[in-house]
Structure 1
Amino acid sequence: MRTAFGEKFDVPPGYLNTASLGIPTLTTANAVAASVSRWAAGQADAPDYDLPVRQARTAFAELIGVPVERVASGSGVSPLVAQVAAGVPDGARVLVAEGEFTSVSFPFAAQAARGVTVTAAPLDRLAERAADFDLVAVAVVQSADGAVVDLDGLRASGARVLLDVSQSLGWFPHDLAWADWVVGAGYKWLLAPRGSAWLAVRPEAADWTLPVAANWYAGDDPWKTVYDLPLRLAPDARAYDLSPAWLAQAGAAAALPWIAGLDLAAVRDHAVGLADALLAALGLPPRGSAIVSIAGEGVAERLAEAGIRCATRAGRARLAFHLYSDENDLDRAISALTRGNGQISESI
């Protein structure tokens, strides 16, 4: 058991895989377990989950710096992005990063029958090319290698912008009220269960957001819109809500408010400090990201043998340092990567 930032985590030594799956606080794990117990005992009642949905939604809004009325709740990134992709005009030109996570790019590519085109460009050129497109859809931090997009450049471009914060929110301080859409999953750096996700919609972007998954929970009063017509959706971003995964929301309601109460600059400094220390030990320059992508012969095998839990993405080992990572994890990774004569390099 580890203690970090005032919470306890049952995280094993060498766990550097938060970019795939975050480890919950003990409080969050207990909240989910208690919710399962109430369900199993026949004590759960559907309206009881409205409060955790509201608590998680409110915390997500706080984390990205927007009013809660702008935030829709869902279960995954791609179904939320799909409501944007379905709403862009026929013939819209969309710009994405090369190698972008497909939950961001595929919903737009699926609109090809309407003449919507999707163009991929290097991440470091998105800002300079953005003005030539109707919309830019990109992750703030890239899943494959941890590269960080030029947010200031995108903001100044004048293009509509959709940002995916799934690999950044929780360690990277954000103030994204300017972005047209902000989407994020809860099960990575936010340390919530899979099945929780959110979409923030700027009021000026509502004309390009279509509630294609309209359902009872998106109604103006969910417990009065469970039957019959006419269509009566919520007057704010709840109109884009997806029916909640209740147990996941029970965990998100414990996880997100806690993270929203942290000093995220301190979390960033801790996680990035460990990541950059690993790069320095390998003779590589710092990058200011909590995610490190390492290429080299036998790298994944050496890490696994040393008890390092990480992922392989785009043919490289991906290590992710979060608030519960510590010096022992760092030393274990350094030892594994500096053992032997195989050449090591970082993906840029």
Structure 2
Amino acid sequence: MNSLGGSEFEPATTYLNTSTCGLLPRRAVEAVQALAAENGTGAGDGGGSFDSVDAARASFARLVGVPAGRVAVGGSVAVHVGLIAASVPPGSEVLMAEGEFSSVVTPFAVRGDLKPRYVPLESLAGEVRPETALVAVSAVQSGDGRIADLPAVRAAAAAHGARTLLDCTQAAGWLPVDAGAYDYTVTGGYKFLVSPRGTSFLTVTEEAQESLVPIHAGWVSGESIWASTYGPVEQLAHSARRFDEPTAFLAYHGAEQSLAVLEEVGVERIHTHVTALADRFRAGLASLGHEPVAAPGSTVVAVPGLGDLHPRLVAAGVKVAVRAGNLRAAFHLYNSTADVDRALDVLAG
């Protein structure tokens, strides 16, 4: 099975580490370099183009199935979650999975006046109760690739009147996501969205938007940006753009191109490709006597007890990671069956 990346990607290694950081497509690299050259010589008329930011916003919106007006852009998941955490009423219970990624849980934990509660991922839906104000969970767990039972979580939250926050950082770009089914979603752009670091996306339903206080609002959050540059912003954007963070233009010039590549290939096609590769890897691991964490349908494969083999893989030019005690591999559109077989050969010694 050949890669789907074509000439856009040029991995110099057997790169199975997208859960840590995705590869940038050629056109994204060129866009960043072009803007950097302009900024270095004064050839442009400023730091970058809001048109590129809005193109990235619209592209992401299409990838996750929401209108562009429901998407805010920023620089990190932690800041988006911090915005949501700051708006949760004191004394509220926030339900989260044990071992959840730090950026999802810490903004709630540091408040001091909330009631964070952690339960096993597989029990999350069953643990929602009337006093639960918010359920926060990753679609795909960073440490081991397990996929949450999202329909059950949504149903339980709706039954008890709780809001939902979904972190799509390990999902968007390969797993079909319906962001509009959640009150909030947050997504880091530098993994499966193959965008530069410094890109992230927040989606907010129209109803949930009214519950958030735009605590970091600046001039880019105004309904009319260029009429909002001095003094307090008189009118915030009517859309989710009111939650935009000041823009890292270099990152978003690249993201515009990266997300266009994903749209051209198609998430459904990527999903079919990467899950087949992950299944091949799991089968090969089993033949070698190794048992991955059970994560059916996930492109992320984690194997307990193999962390000590990480240096061997790196020395052989196979890029993977060690997370939560697991050797972790993750497949994306630029991977092929040759990559799977190369990793298995190295693990077999």
TM-score (norm 2): 0.92
Give the corresponding residue for 2:277.
274
Which residue, 125, 128, 138 being the options, matches 1:127?
A: 125
Q: Percent identity?
A: 39
Deviations 1:89-147 (A, max 9, x none): 111110111111111111111221xx211111111111111244110111101111111
Please list, as runs of the form range in 1=range in 2, the aligned pairs for 1:169-318 lying within 5 A after superposition.
169-229=172-232, 231-283=234-286, 284=291, 287-297=296-306, 298-318=308-328
SS of aligned partner of 2:225 = coil
Deviations 1:186-216 (A, max 9, x none): 1111111000111010112123312111111
Alpha-carbon deviation of 1:7? 4.3
Distance 1:151 1:331 in 2: 32
Give the corresponding residue for 2:100.
100
Distance 1:243 1:335 in 2: 46
Distance 2:232 2:312 in 1: 60
Q: What letter is aligned with 2:193?
A: L
Structure 2 vs 1, CA of residues 302 and 230 (structure 1 numbering), >3 Å: closer, same or farther? closer
Structure 2 vs 1, CA of residues 6 and 15 (structure 1 numbering), >3 Å: closer, same or farther? closer
Q: What letter is aligned with 1:278?
A: F
Deviations 1:24-67 (A, max 9, x none): 11111111111111111212223751101100111111111111
SS of aligned partner of 2:210 = helix
Contact 1:89 1:208 in 2 (8 A): no
Give the corresponding residue for 2:4.
4
Distance 1:286 1:302 in 2: 25
Deviations 1:221-269 (A, max 9, x none): 1111110135421111111110000100100111112213333122112
Structure 1 stretch displaced more, 278-287 or 175-184: 278-287
Contact 1:306 1:332 in 2 (8 A): no
SS of aligned partner of 1:261 = helix
Q: What letter is aligned with 2:29?
A: A
Distance 1:255 1:230 in 2: 32
Structure 2 vs 1, CA of residues 230 and 328 (structure 1 numbering), >3 Å: closer, same or farther? closer
Quick check: 1:83 aligned with 2:92?
no
Alpha-carbon deviation of 1:185? 1.0
Structure 2 vs 1, CA of residues 131 and 95 (structure 1 numbering), >3 Å: closer, same or farther? same
Distance 1:196 1:45 in 2: 22
Distance 1:45 1:311 in 2: 41
Runs of 4+ residues over 4 Å off in structure 1: none
Distance 1:299 1:95 in 2: 35
Give the corresponding residue for 1:164.
167
Distance 1:146 1:231 in 2: 44
Deviations 1:170-191 (A, max 9, x none): 1111122110001101111111
Distance 1:116 1:110 in 2: 9
SS of aligned partner of 1:137 = strand
Gaps of 5+ in 2: none
Gaps of 5+ in 1: 340-348
Structure 1 stretch displaced more, 42-51 or 314-323: 42-51
Structure 2 vs 1, CA of residues 207 and 89 (structure 1 numbering), >3 Å: closer, same or farther? farther
Alpha-carbon deviation of 1:299? 2.4
Which residue, 317, 322, 345 being the options, matches 2:332?
A: 322
Contact 2:47 2:249 in 1 (8 A): no
Distance 1:259 1:7 in 2: 14
Q: What letter is aligned with 2:67?
A: P
Distance 1:122 1:3 in 2: 35
Give the corresponding residue for 1:154.
153
Structure 1 stretch displaced more, 4-13 or 139-148: 4-13
Alpha-carbon deviation of 1:12? 1.8
Q: What letter is aligned with 1:68?
A: A
Contact 2:190 2:197 in 1 (8 A): yes
Contact 2:146 2:295 in 1 (8 A): no
SS of aligned partner of 1:39 = helix
Distance 2:124 2:146 in 1: 13
SS of aligned partner of 2:151 = helix
Deviations 1:261-289 (A, max 9, x none): 33312211211111111111122477211
Give the corresponding residue for 2:344.
334
Contact 1:3 1:9 in 2 (8 A): no
Q: What letter is aligned with 1:295?
A: P
